[in-house]
Structure 1
Amino acid sequence: MPTNVLRIDASARTTGSISRDLNDRIIERFETNGDTHVTSRDLANPLPLLTEDWIGANFTPVADRTPEQAETLALSDTLIDEIKAADVLVIGLPIYNFGVPAAFKAWVDLVARAGVTFRYSETGPKGLLTGKRAIVAVASGGTEMGSDIDFATGFIRHVLGFIGISDVVFVAADRLMIDADATLASARAAVDTLEIAA
């Protein structure tokens, strides 16, 4: 059985992106390790933001949705199907202004759906997309990962856990403006030692 990998690139840069380069290296590790099928979702091709029509369609019971409402949710359904089909999510995440890129937040808003990717229970929310791993390649100019000004990595860990993906590993290429050479060497070494086998 092939390993199904969902690759997500959140950088606005399509060339010269550190997070994309790290994603390339992570994907290469999977492909070298064995049979791998990669689905790519490039958020430089922007996703739509939520609208009143989208929210109305989402909160209308499936059996009661009009064809127009179903069409409104079609992209969201596709994005969720991409996650469902994946064994591993490989996410390239730059930190912009201390948080995640707006393009990534748009992806989150489209995939975090009550009754579809999570549900509420008597003991709190339960993620429905379980049994998956995530590897997140983080790049930043000056924000140190895990510091008080890093509002990106805690967010992505929480969001992934919220929809059921609690096995999350980070590769850090942070503070690139401080010492790019050492940071890149450390990040690439971390990629080389990632546990790839399922």
Structure 2
Amino acid sequence: MKTLLRIDSSPRKKSSLSRQLADVLQEKLETEVGYTSTHRDVYYDELIKLGNEDSISAYFTPEEQQSTAQKEAVKASNILSAEFASADAFIFAVPMYNFSITAGLKAYIDLIARSGISFTYSENGPEGLLKGKKAYVIITTGGTKLGTDVDYVSGYMTTFLNFVGITDIEFINSDQIMTDAKKILNQVKTEINELILK
């Protein structure tokens, strides 16, 4: 059974355009590919917290040598990184805030980027461990055009996903949506429904 992990990162809920587009894509993937979905809402999930000194030191300490404080500090990261690594495909719903990703998504990425789980260090440098997986990245912006010098979302998401071994990335761009939100939203929904899924 194939698993799809959906990651929402908007602080908005019902009014979030990235969430609305992710709903359309998730339904299509479940219906046409047969994915079983799980969900993380990284802006509101209690597991998504900034690290502390214990968590940072625990990342570089073998589990059997970790103190009680260190084990507690990385418990959330252990859960999230294992969940991420076990999924077959991903939907990232990524609104642009101040030219980059939201704080919730950055905190989540920091928690799941784990040596020995999502990547490893080799003689040739870091190597991603999550090869053969598929990522769909929905990017919404209010007025910023993607692909310009002030777009720090597209490149960041590509770099992170490649870093953990995910190179099969489908970007679904919904930029400058506030120029005509209804029209652009409908256009992107149509594009999603016309995607040829692999």
TM-score above 0.5, yes or no? yes
Give percent identity, aligned residues only.
39
**1:189 aligns to what?**
190
Distance 2:78 2:68 in 1: 14
TM-score (norm 2): 0.93
Report deviation, 1:13.
Answer: 0.4
Distance 1:84 1:125 in 2: 16
- Which deviates more from structure 2 when the two are superposed, residues 181-190 or residues 119-128? 181-190
Report runs of 4+ in structure 1 exceeding 6 Å deviation.
none
Report deviation, 1:22.
Answer: 0.7
| 1:68-79 aligned within 5 A | 68-79=69-80
TM-score (norm 1): 0.93
Distance 1:193 1:170 in 2: 14
Q: Cα deviation per residue 1:67-96 (whole Å; 9 max; x = unaligned)?
A: 332221111111112112211100100000
CA contact (8 A) 1:12 1:44 kept: yes
Distance 2:13 2:183 in 1: 23
Q: State how many pairs are aligned.
A: 196
CA contact (8 A) 2:140 2:173 kept: yes
**2:30 aligns to what?**
31
**2:13 aligns to what?**
14
- What SS does the aligned partner of 1:165 have? coil
* Cα separation, partners in 2 of 1:85 and 1:53, compared to 1, 3 Å: same
Which consecutive unaligned segments of at least 5 residues does structure 2 have?
none
Which consecutive unaligned segments of at least 5 residues does structure 1 have?
none
- What SS does the aligned partner of 1:23 have? helix
Report deviation, 1:120.
Answer: 2.0
Q: Does 1:179 align with 2:180?
A: yes
